[in-house]
Amino acid sequence: MSKAAELAKWGEVSTNGQVSGRRNIVINGAMNVAQRSASVTGIGATSGYYTIDRYQIIAGATAGRFTMAQVADVHDGFANAMKLTCTTADASIAAGEYMGIHYRIEGQDLQQIKKGTSDAEKVTISFYVKGNASATYMLEVKDSDNTRLNQNQFAVTTDWTRIEITLNADTTGAFTDDNGLSLELSFWLHGGSTYTSGTYTANTWAGQTNANRLVGITSFFDSTDRTFFITGLQLEVGSVATPFEHRSFGEEFDLCLRYYEKSSAYGVAEDSTAGANIYGVVGMAGSASSVGNNDATMIHWQKSKRVAPTLVFYDAAGNSGKLSYAEAGVGRADNIAIRSSNIGVNRSRIGTAGASSLDAGEAVEMLFQYTADSEL
């Protein structure tokens, strides 16, 4: 199929050659939303979501450390990029080491690919990358429902380069049509011999063989100050990498809230006491010793979550798993045990747990921050 025919298939082409209509399956591909923090240092020992929304660092057993940041050093047409900077090199790579950036997608968002059928579509992944030195890394696409993988090496130079990779259609194994994990896009930057000792075969769907997963890649941890930049990640149906589909910050932020939200100020560390607290006022019934049996307030999430979220609370002093309350004429008390119940995709009930100095029927002002995590 010609490029013109492919473009016509997946969207209308305007007079300037741009393609209209929704194409990009990736949320936050332009790296604009970073609720948790704009920069985190010392990463490498533990996997987690650190800065830019929807992107998880996967790290195992490595001695290397790095900083992850949202930066304005970008390709033309973008406002933000993700930057990783090596701060501690790994001079002796153990066999089981690995490090990469993961992006995960729900199965119900992939049904248009028709994977696992005779009508399975090709998909194209495109993104912009650069570094402070030449390197070869691996894009691994994993069908998590059927444990099938497709690997493609890509080259990084000191200039921004758009990488375009079209994956062959896979007629084996369908994506489950639900809100669970079905597809992972992994940008692998480091790996030990457990993952590099096999054979590299480009753009071939196959069962998982660990030795073949990271063959031929550069170690991101081979020198202190090595950098890796990425932005403009796009996944679309078809064999053509169309121009990046930009969405407004407000729309992208709204899409990210399905997976994670926080009550503290945007971009402020989750356990920080900076930013606004949430206040709930309740009339405490019963005796003072039964305070813990009373729900105090209801939190309604800013956006319905993918699944009932994992909640973490912080009191006004920054203590995890606790709340504070302000008692009339007494002042603020911190480090109070918290109880949550009826946790759902739209809301949760919050109360104190255990005895307090409150009198029966006394009103209390509760102070706390929270995070609600429904990431894949």
Domain boundary among 256, 290, 315: 256
The verdict on residue 267 lying in a domain is no
Which one is predicted more confidently, 148 or 365? 148
pLDDT reported for residue 281: 63
Give the chain's count of helices (H) and strands (E): 3, 21
Report the b/e string of 263-286 with b at 16+ CB within 10 A.
bbeebbebeebeeebbebebebee
pLDDT tens digits for range 80-102: 999 999 999 999 999 999 999 99
Where does the pLDDT of residue 107 fall: very low under 50, low under 70, confident under 90, or very high at 90 and above?
very high
Number of domains in the chain: 2
Residues 189, 217 contacting (CB under 8 angstroms): yes
Is there a single domain that holds both residue 292 and residue 204?
no
Q: Which helix (H) or strand (E) holds 8?
A: helix 3-10
Domain boundary among 256, 290, 312: 256
pLDDT tens digits for range 287-327: 444 444 455 678 999 999 999 999 999 988 888 998 887 77
Residues 271, 320 contacting (CB under 8 angstroms): yes
Residues 297, 283 contacting (CB under 8 angstroms): no
Could you tell me the residue range of the domain that residue 157 belongs to? 3-256
Which one is predicted more confidently, 200 or 330? 200
Q: Is 275 left (phi over 0), alpha (psi -120 to 50) or beta?
A: left
Number of other CB atoms surrounding residue 159 within 10 Å: 9
Q: What is the DSSP string of 255-277?
A: HHTTTEEESSPTTS-TT-S-SPP
Residue at 320: amino acid letter? S
In the block, tokens 């369908």 appear at 174
Domain boundary among 256, 287, 315: 256
Distance CA 286, CA 291 (A): 7
pLDDT reported for residue 354: 62
The verdict on residue 270 lying in a domain is no
Which of 31, 71, 43 has its CA nearest to residue 221? 43
Q: Return the CATH number at 77.
A: 2.60.120.260
The verdict on residue 32 lying in a domain is yes
Is there a single domain that holds both residue 108 and residue 41?
yes
Is there a single domain that holds both residue 250 and residue 361?
no
Is there a single domain that holds both residue 228 and residue 313?
no
pLDDT tens digits for range 73-85: 999 999 999 999 9
The verdict on residue 21 lying in a domain is yes
Q: Name the percent of the chain lying above pLDDT 70.
A: 84
- pTM for the full predicted model: 0.92
Where does the pLDDT of residue 16 fall: very low under 50, low under 70, confident under 90, or very high at 90 and above?
very low
- List the structure tokens of 241: 């990498």
Is there a single domain that holds both residue 224 and residue 323?
no
Q: How many residues does the chain have?
A: 376
List the beta bridge partners of residue 98: 60, 191
